[in-house]
């Protein structure tokens, strides 16, 4: 199997040099891992390609270069032009006959010359020059030339242009001529094999690619700004380099000896996934604690997590109907103003404010009306009024509306009191959102109101982060599945249903990894599996330093364990580590501690990983309905609920008391310092709702 070391993608252009300033529709080149390069003309581009090929050969590397123009014409063309079926005969012909400079070329004359060899009119068309050509029609009036419009592969490439069109928006005819001439020179001078016409046994392979295959990825990237062509070459180079070699080999395995083929056709989903805007992985030491730290205060622990965690998921486009709960990946700009046109906010009569008298007004009505979706397209003369219905565009000549209830009308006239202000009962164009305004900022979790807003400013799909995948695993020999037979010494696994549903409540995809026995090898195998299936792993149990605390032992063994001894009750040490590049939150086994640690630590951390940024729960101060004396040096969370405006706390602070979690409707947070709380003292209550539940 061929393995390439380097991947380069080129977005070619048949256009003329327009200067040194990078712009779209020029030549762009990107090697995977480097920045896109703007190449201002074809002479510069040819030199750059030659240098790249030289460099790869000198280093003994295998280089794949993709070009975004057809390497062949529809079947039969090669023979008609050159008398042979060989596509290279066409390449040679084009190279021999094309005169190309950065400021212009003879491509139209060439198309004219070729057309002359065909019966009828065509197959080439379009002429951008003043000069007329006998055989090159300006409009598509071609007939009887006997060539088919598309190659076999073009039929599968929705939106691809035909090689016959020599100019006009999106046309590729000129690109093919100018591109083939350059490639033909390079292939004859250097060790290059051209796919799919030749066996790829040379160090360098030229392949045909088409950015349209990764359109959705390009659009997501474009939403963040920058030049489209630059995104195209960068993302395609990344996608090709990210494909498993066996998969790439499969894509290269086509038989199209004359027409050529677009690499990756039919593999669009895979290419898009490979192009996916994946952020860099987390740093391996992201959970490292400063040396010598013993007990870490909760706020310090949170600040460290906040500092070191970032988005780990890629991006995708989803339809609005599927977007609830997803996190917006790029600022959503209003494509259209809301409202798009001034309209009336009520049912009533519209007129020009300038003609209104202070006292009683009696205005003649024009025939017709303006209704929502059915605007009146005439002009309403000053001094006249027109029937308008809520949501209707204001007709020309109308800037003010009087409410139905404030007037009498008989079909011919409308009477009402003056004194309305100009613009009364109307909505201005763009008063809600102007075109180009940021309607929803990146990082917003999309709720029903955001879906309404996105729709009203013209978006049917939105760029979102891929859903964070959260693997959930319980550990302990004593655990059995809820509902199963429990023997002596066994208890039901309460944490998994709780943690899976927490993940789902927060909008993530829960990946249930089941239960692991207190056995290091079994646990290791499950962690390996979880790391391939999820972006973050939540485990519970075995997180301390005891004999059977395999979770912490394993993470330590992998060199990635950090035992965060957080000054928090309930919550024994939290084990944090990286397993095969995936962050692991080793939560305490006690359900109460596991729950509290999830709300306090896992929730903001996972929010940061998901693209939604760090979150801090809102609480408020209420009088206590309890008394409590608390030691200094640690934060405490009590299961609590509000009754009669006061915070009650659960009778027992025992961390095995699951019923207290259910009894509660939130947590009372007691600060790190000592406290002696009497009834009526203010305490901070954070409702479950503030934790996104
Ligand atoms: P560990 O952290 O493994 O020492 O567990 C602490 C306590 O939590 C022990 O009493 C365990 O039996 C209990 N425990 C651990 N995991 C779970 C679970 N998934 N469901 C219910 N209790 C658990
Ligand atoms: Mg255990």
Q: What is the pLDDT of residues 362-396, one digit of tens each?
A: 999 999 999 999 999 999 999 999 999 999 999 99
- For the chain, percent of residues with pLDDT exceeding 70: 97
∠30-36-38 over CA atoms, to 5°?
105
Residue nearest to atom 10 of ligand 1 (CA): 590
> What is the mean predicted confidence (pLDDT) over 94-98?
96
Beta bridge partners of 462: 318
Q: What is the pLDDT of residue 310?
A: 87
CA of 523 to the centre of ligand 2 (A): 12
Q: Give the Å distance between the CA of 666 and the centre of ligand 1.
A: 22
Least confident piece of the model among 187-191, 331-335, 353-357, 456-460: 331-335
Ligand located closest to 478 CA: 1
Ligand 2 center to 371 CA (angstroms): 69
Give the number of the atom of ligand 1 that is nearest the alpha carbon of residue 494: 20
Helix, strand, or coil (residue 366): strand
Q: Tell me how far apart the alpha carbons of residues 228 and 234 are, in angstroms, rounded to a whole number.
A: 10
Ligand 1 mean position, distance from CA 521 (Å): 20
Q: How confident is the model at residue 279 (pLDDT cuts 50, 70, 90)?
A: low
Which of 205-219, 658-672, 673-687 has the least mean pLDDT? 205-219
- Ligand 1 atom closest to the Cα of residue 551 is 3
How far apart are the CA of 418 and the centre of ligand 2, in A? 80
CB-CB contact of 647 with 624 (8 Å)? yes
Å from CA of 301 to ligand 2 middle: 24
Instruction: Tell me what pLDDT residue 544 has.
Output: 74
291 CA to centre of ligand 2 in angstroms: 28
CB-based pocket (< 6 A), ligand 1: 474, 476, 478-479, 491, 493-495, 540-544, 588-591
Q: Which ligand is nearest to the CA of 543?
A: 1
Structure confidence at residue 314 (pLDDT): 85
Q: Higher-confidence residue: 426 or 168?
A: 426
Q: Does residue 543 register a pLDDT over 90?
A: no
Taking alpha carbons only, the member of 10, 72, 8 closest to residue 44 is: 10
Nearest ligand by distance to the CA of 490? 1
Ligand 1, atom nearest to 515 Cα: 19
- In order of 5, 228, 346, 535, 675, the CA distances from 221 in angstroms are 25, 8, 42, 22, 52
Q: What is the pLDDT of residue 633?
A: 86
pLDDT category at 224 given cuts 50, 70, 90 is low
Measured from the Cα of 588, ligand 1's closest atom is 2
Residue 80 C-alpha to ligand 1 middle, in angstroms?
79
Cα 538 to Cα 542: distance, rounded to the nearest angstrom: 12
pLDDT band at 277 (very low <50, low <70, confident <90, very high): low
User: Can you tell me which atom of ligand 1 is nearest the CA of 542?
Assistant: 3
Could you give the dihedral angle defined by the CA atoms of residues 551, 553, 555 and 560, in that order, rounded to the nearest 10 degrees? 150
The alpha carbon of 539 and the centre of ligand 1 are apart by a number of angstroms equal to 11
| CA of 528 relative to ligand 1 center, distance in Å | 22
What is the 599 CA–ligand 2 centroid distance (Å)? 21
Which ligand has the minimum distance to the alpha carbon of residue 570?
Answer: 1
Residue 590 alpha carbon, nearest atom of ligand 1: 8
Q: Which two tokens stand for residue 152?
A: 């076999």
With bands split at pLDDT 50, 70 and 90, how would you rate the model's confidence at 560?
A: low
Instruction: Report, as an integer, the average pLDDT of 245-255.
Output: 90
What is the per-residue pLDDT across 10-44, written as a single tens digit (0 to 9) for each? 999 988 888 899 988 889 999 987 789 999 999 99
Does residue 500 have a pLDDT over 90? Answer: yes
Ligand nearest to the CA of 588: 1
> Under CATH, domain 469-610 is a member of which superfamily?
MoaB/Mog-like domain (3.40.980.10)
Protein residue with least CA distance to atom 23, ligand 1: 589
Which stretches of 633-680 are assigned E, i.e. beta strand?
Answer: 635-643, 646-649, 666-670, 675-677
> For ligand 1, atom 16, which residue shows the shortest CA distance?
589
**Residues with Cβ within 8 Å of residue 259, at least 6 apart in sequence:** 70, 72, 73, 74, 75, 87, 151, 152, 153
The first and second tokens of residue 473, run together, are 């695993």
Radius of gyration of the chain (CA): 34
2.60.120.10, 3.30.1370.100, 2.60.40.10, 2.40.340.10: CATH of 620-691: 2.40.340.10
Q: Where are the domains of the chain?
A: 6-68+200-275, 315-337+432-465, 343-427, 469-610, 620-691
State the distance from the centre of ligand 2 to the C-alpha of 551, rounded, in angstroms: 9
Ligand 1 atom index nearest CA of 495: 19
Taking the CA of 546 as reference, the closest ligand is 1
Asked whether residue 3 carries a pLDDT value surpassing 70, the answer given is yes
Q: CATH class for domain 343-427?
A: mainly beta
Q: Region 620-646: what's the mean pLDDT?
A: 95
Residue 170 has pLDDT above 90, yes or no: no
pLDDT value, residue 429: 92
pLDDT at 653: 85
What does the block give as tokens for 280?
């860099």
Percent helix, strand, coil in the chain (nearest 5)?
30, 25, 45
Residue 506's SS3 state is coil
Strand pairing report for 192-194 and 37-39: unpaired
Query: Which mutation among 474, 542, 548, 590 tests ligand 1's pocket best, with the greatest number of atoms within 8 A of CB?
Result: 590
Burial 553-580 (b: 16+ CB within 10 A, else e): bbbbeeebbbbbebbbbbbbbbbbbbbe
| Mode of pairing for the β-strands spanning 491-492 and 385-388 | unpaired
Q: 639-649, pLDDT tens digit by residue?
A: 999 999 999 99
* pLDDT higher than 90, residue 290: no
Mean pLDDT of 344-367: 95
Indicate if the pLDDT at residue 204 is higher than 90.
yes
- 429 CA to middle of ligand 2, Å? 63
**What pLDDT is attached to residue 457?**
92
296-330 pLDDT, tens digit per residue, is 888 988 998 898 898 889 888 899 999 999 999 88
pLDDT at 106 over 80: yes
- The closest-lying atom of ligand 1 relative to the alpha carbon of residue 544 is 2
Ligand number nearest to the C-alpha of 515? 1
Q: What architecture (CATH level 2) is domain 315-337+432-465? A: Alpha-Beta Complex (3.90)
CB atoms within 10 A of CB 230: 22
Res 559 pLDDT > 70? no
- Non-local (6+) Cβ contacts of 676 within 8 A are 628, 629, 630
Q: Give the closest residue (by CA) to ligand 1 atom 11.
A: 589
* Number of alpha carbons in the 13 Å side-chain half-sphere of residue 543: 28
The atom of ligand 1 lying closest to the CA of 540 is 16
Would the pLDDT of 75 be above 90?
Answer: yes
CB 164 within 8 Å of CB 124: yes
Higher pLDDT, 288 or 6: 6
How many C-beta atoms lie closer than 10 Å to residue 367's C-beta? 9
Count each helix (H run) and each strand (E run) in the chain, helices first. Answer: 17, 37
| Mutation pick for ligand 1 pocket among 589, 591, 597 (CB with most ligand atoms within 8 Å) | 589
Report the chain's mean pLDDT, rounded to a whole number. Answer: 91
Query: What is the maximal distance between C-alpha atoms in the chain?
Result: 101
Tell me, yes or no, if the pTM score tops 0.75: no
- Nearest C-alpha to atom 6 of ligand 1 is from which residue? 589
CB-based contact 500:587 (threshold 8 Å):
no
For residue 546, the ligand 1 atom closest to its alpha carbon is 4
Contact 539, 474 (CB under 8 A): yes
- Report which protein residue has its CA nearest ligand 1's atom 14: 589
């Amino acid at each position: 199997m061929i393995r390439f070391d380097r991947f380069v993608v080129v977005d070619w252009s048949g256009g003329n040099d327009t200067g040194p300033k990078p712009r779209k529709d020029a030549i762009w080149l990107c090697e995977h891992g480097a920045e896109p390069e703007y190449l201002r003309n074809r002479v510069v581009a040819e030199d750059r390609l030659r240098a790249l090929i030289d460099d790869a050969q000198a280093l003994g590397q295998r280089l794949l270069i993709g070009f975004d123009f057809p390497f062949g014409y529809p079947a039969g063309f090669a023979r008609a032009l050159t008398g042979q079926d060989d596509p290279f005969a066409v390449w040679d012909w084009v190279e021999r006959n094309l005169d190309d400079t950065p400021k212009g070329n003879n491509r139209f004359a060439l198309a004219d010359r070729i057309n002359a060899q065909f019966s009828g009119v065509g197959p080439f068309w379009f002429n951008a020059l003043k000069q007329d050509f006998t055989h090159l029609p300006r409009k598509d009036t071609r007939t009887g030339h006997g060539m088919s419009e598309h190659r076999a592969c073009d039929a599968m490439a929705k939106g691809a242009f035909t090689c016959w069109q020599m100019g006009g928006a999106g046309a590729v005819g000129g690109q093919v001529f100018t591109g083939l001439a350059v490639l033909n020179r390079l292939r004859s001078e250097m060790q290059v094999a051209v796919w799919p016409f030749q066996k790829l046994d040379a160090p360098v392979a030229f392949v045909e690619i088409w950015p349209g295959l990764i359109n959705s990825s390009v659009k997501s990237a474009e939403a963040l700004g920058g030049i489209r062509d630059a995104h195209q070459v960068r993302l395609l180079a990344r996608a090709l380099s990210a494909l498993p070699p066996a998969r790439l080999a499969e894509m290269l395995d086509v038989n199209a000896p004359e027409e050529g083929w677009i690499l990756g056709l039919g593999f669009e989903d895979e290419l898009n996934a490979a192009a996916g805007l994946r952020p860099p992985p987390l740093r391996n030491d992201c959970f490292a604690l400063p040396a010598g730290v013993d007990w870490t205060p909760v706020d310090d622990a949170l600040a460290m997590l906040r500092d070191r965690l970032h988005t780990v998921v890629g991006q995708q486009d989803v339809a609005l109907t599927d977007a609830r709960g997803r996190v917006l990946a790029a600022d959503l700009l209003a494509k259209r103003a809301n409202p798009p046109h001034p309209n009336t906010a009520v049912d009533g009569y519209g007129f020009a404010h300038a003609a209104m008298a202070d006292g009683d007004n009696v205005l003649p009505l024009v025939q017709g009306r303006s209704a929502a979706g059915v605007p009146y397209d005439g002009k309403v003369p000053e001094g006249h009024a027109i029937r308008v219905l809520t949501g209707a565009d204001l007709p020309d000549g109308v800037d003010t509306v009087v409410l139905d209830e404030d007037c009498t009308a008989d079909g011919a006239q409308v009477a009402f009191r003056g004194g309305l202000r100009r613009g009364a009962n109307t909505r201005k164009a763009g008063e809600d959102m102007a075109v180009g305004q940021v309607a929803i900022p990146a990082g917003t979790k999309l709720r029903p109101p955001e879906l309404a807003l996105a729709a009203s400013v013209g978006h049917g799909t939105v760029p979102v982060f891929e859903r964070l995948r959260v693997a959930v695993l319980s550990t302990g020999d004593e655990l059995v599945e809820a509902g199963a037979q429990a023997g002596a010494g066994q208890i039901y696994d309460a944490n998994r249903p709780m943690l899976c549903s927490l993940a789902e409540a927060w909008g993530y995809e829960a990946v249930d990894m089941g239960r692991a026995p207190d056995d290091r090898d079994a646990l290791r195998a499950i962690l390996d599996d979880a790391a391939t299936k999820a972006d973050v792993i939540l485990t519970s149990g075995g997180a301390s330093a005891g004999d059977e605390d395999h979770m912490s032992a394993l993470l330590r063994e992998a060199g990635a364990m950090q035992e965060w001894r957080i000054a928090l009750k309930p919550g024994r040490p939290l084990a944090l580590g990286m397993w095969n590049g995936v962050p692991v939150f080793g939560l305490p086994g006690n359900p109460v501690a596991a729950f509290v640690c999830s709300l306090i630590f896992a929730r903001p951390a996972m929010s940061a990983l998901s693209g939604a940024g760090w979150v801090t729960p809102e609480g408020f101060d209420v009088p206590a309905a309890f008394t409590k004396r608390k030691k200094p040096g640690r934060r405490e969370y009590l299961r609590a609920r509000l009754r009669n405006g006061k915070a009650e706390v659960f009778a027992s602070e025992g961390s095995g008391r699951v019923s207290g979690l259910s009894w509660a409707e939130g947590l009372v947070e007691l600060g790190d310092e000592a406290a002696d709380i009497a009834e009526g003292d203010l305490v901070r209550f954070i409702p479950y709702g503030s934790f996104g539940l």
